[in-house]
Amino acid sequence: MLPLTDISRADACSTPQARAATSPEHAETLAHSLKALADPARLRIISIVSAHANQEACVCDLTDQLTLSQPTISHHLKVLVEAGFLSRAKRGTWSYYSLVPGSLGAVARVLSAI
């Protein structure tokens, strides 16, 4: 019987990779993005914004449709802006939120490649 050090690498249990695996840094970034989306209220917010003309909605449009307090909606909006899914524009006393072009598509492409 050969000692373990003499067994060739081909005999070891391993399957070659067909492509590079996600790096730890990329996985961390993706997890942050997915956490931002993994909330029913945030998914509703994105749905409401994307349903409006030019994929832009006033914060008042959101408060009218969600059964959440204004501070809670503001928190969810902040998370979505920080994650890069929405952008914010202030006009007078109102804030308008827009879907960042390609932001959802980028997540979909990454998930389909995993």
Residue 3 has a pLDDT of 56
pTM score of the predicted model: 0.77
Pairwise CA distance, residues 63 & 67, whole Å: 7
Q: Strands 86-91 and 56-58: what pairing? A: unpaired
| Neighbouring-strand partners of residue 94 | 91
What's the topology of domain 23-113?
Arc Repressor Mutant, subunit A (1.10.10)
Closest CA to 81 of 98, 94, 66, 64: 98
The rounded percent of the chain whose pLDDT value lies above 90 is: 49
| pLDDT lower than 70: segments of the chain | 1-12, 114
Residue 12 has a pLDDT of 65
Pairwise CA distance, residues 14 & 65, whole Å: 53
